[in-house]
Amino acid sequence: MNMMRIGISIGDLNGIGPEVVLKTFSEPAILKHCIPIVYASTKSMSWWRKQLHLDHFNFVTLKPGDKIIPGHLYVVDVWEEDLNLTPGKELPVTGQYAVKSLNAACNDLEAGKIDALVTAPISKKNVKSNEFPYTGHTEYLAARFGQNKSLMMMISDELKVALATVHIPVQEISKNISTDGLYRRIELLHQTLRRDFACTAPKIAVLGLNPHAGEGGQIGKEEQEIILPAIQKAKENKILAMGPFAADGFFGTGQYKYFDAVLAMYHDQGLVPFKTLAFDEGVNYTAGLNVVRTSPDHGTAFDIAGKNEAREDSFRSALFAAMDIARSRKAYDEAAANPLKRNSQEAERGSVV
């Protein structure tokens, strides 16, 4: 069976996660491309299906030992109890169940029972606890699968943006960048573009930290003392990294179109232009992990949860991105594995011809 098994963590049950998941897979054509497995509960998904008036759409409860057949949406019962769901209400209890869903999905991802993971949005405030001391999916997945390295990326057909720092206060950004740290992120971005996006010779743009990229040291010295040395080190190691570019002019003049990816120094510097260009179809991707994980680029959207107004475009894009990345990574790894043996086999096939 060549169809990919895509695990889905349900996110916050009072947000729009269940809505965009059900809307996506209520389209029969989607089920021809993958086998989706949602980690939640049959009761919760049935409640949401009724809320959305999708009674014509069925899913299958997946129990241990059951045979998986293409053409169905499967639900794994992570919990059995009834939940009093109140869409739009930001409650700690739904954060706890979001973590249960995520843990169960990651257990199966680690065990090889699913091929990739798509995460529906969580409330960072609601999931934070002693059992989950992370500020979001990215930090949790980096700790579990990152092998001490990961990179948050936002991807679309038009633009790919990676972040040098993620969820930290603005006043701490400068203290959290270093030449070695930036070089490692440039190197990881280069490897990700080659392995996960089949880009043979990636061109990477690196943004400055200060206005006008420091204006030659007049508005801050991070560009000269930290960022530029990292770019130069990348070039010495045959990585096509350029910059540092002033962010406003770089995006305003469309320079991003000439690069395969952009490394931004902080969250809003990269995500504001990205979401301006690709809000409905953008995808959050955690690069550098030994597993594949994507997510829609929006949050829980409590303000519209339960109103049947949420668009599933970004979730659908995240689903297809997960499949594309997993296939690209597999092809890259197969091509890179034991090249002497592969070349010998190709030579033998050529001699027979």
Domain-located, residue 153: no
Q: Which of 229, 255, 280 is the last residue of a domain?
A: 280
Residue span of the structural domain in which 228 resides: 158-280
User: How many Cβ atoms from other residues are within 10 Å of residue 350's Cβ?
Assistant: 8
pLDDT band at 352 (very low <50, low <70, confident <90, very high): very low
Domain-located, residue 116: yes
Q: Which of 256, 280, 304 is the last residue of a domain?
A: 280
In this prediction, residue 128 carries a pLDDT of: 83
Same domain for 73 and 211, yes or no, is no
Domain-located, residue 202: yes
pLDDT at 71 over 80: yes
Same domain for 15 and 52, yes or no, is yes
CATH number, residue 265: 3.40.718.10
pLDDT at 112 over 80: yes
Same domain for 119 and 214, yes or no, is no
Same domain for 18 and 106, yes or no, is yes
Is residue 218 classed as helix, strand or coil in its secondary structure?
Answer: strand
Same domain for 144 and 85, yes or no, is yes
Same domain for 197 and 240, yes or no, is yes
Domain-located, residue 71: yes
Same domain for 271 and 296, yes or no, is no
More reliable by pLDDT, 320 or 349: 320
The strand pair at 151-155 and 74-77 is best described as unpaired
More reliable by pLDDT, 335 or 318: 318
Same domain for 129 and 28, yes or no, is yes
Q: Which two tokens stand for residue 282?
A: 């953008």
Same domain for 181 and 218, yes or no, is yes
Q: Which two tokens stand for residue 243?
A: 């910059």
Domain-located, residue 288: yes
Is residue 309 classed as helix, strand or coil in its secondary structure?
Answer: coil
Domain-located, residue 229: yes
Element (H, E) at 42: helix 42-51
Total domain count for the chain? 2
In this prediction, residue 353 carries a pLDDT of: 32
Same domain for 31 and 134, yes or no, is yes
Domain-located, residue 228: yes
Enter the pTM of the model.
0.88
Domain-located, residue 291: yes
pLDDT at 350 over 90: no
- The per-residue pLDDT for range 72-98, each reduced to its tens digit, is 999 999 999 999 999 999 999 999 999
CA distance 344 to 338: 10
Is residue 235 classed as helix, strand or coil in its secondary structure?
Answer: helix
Task: Return phi, psi of residue 51, to 5°.
Answer: -60, -35
- The per-residue pLDDT for range 310-321, each reduced to its tens digit, is 999 999 999 999
pLDDT at 330 over 50: yes
Same domain for 144 and 178, yes or no, is no
Q: Which of 255, 280, 305 is the last residue of a domain?
A: 280
Same domain for 130 and 273, yes or no, is no
The single-letter DSSP state of residue 220 is B
How large is the average pLDDT for residues 171-199? 96
pLDDT band at 344 (very low <50, low <70, confident <90, very high): low
In this prediction, residue 131 carries a pLDDT of: 81
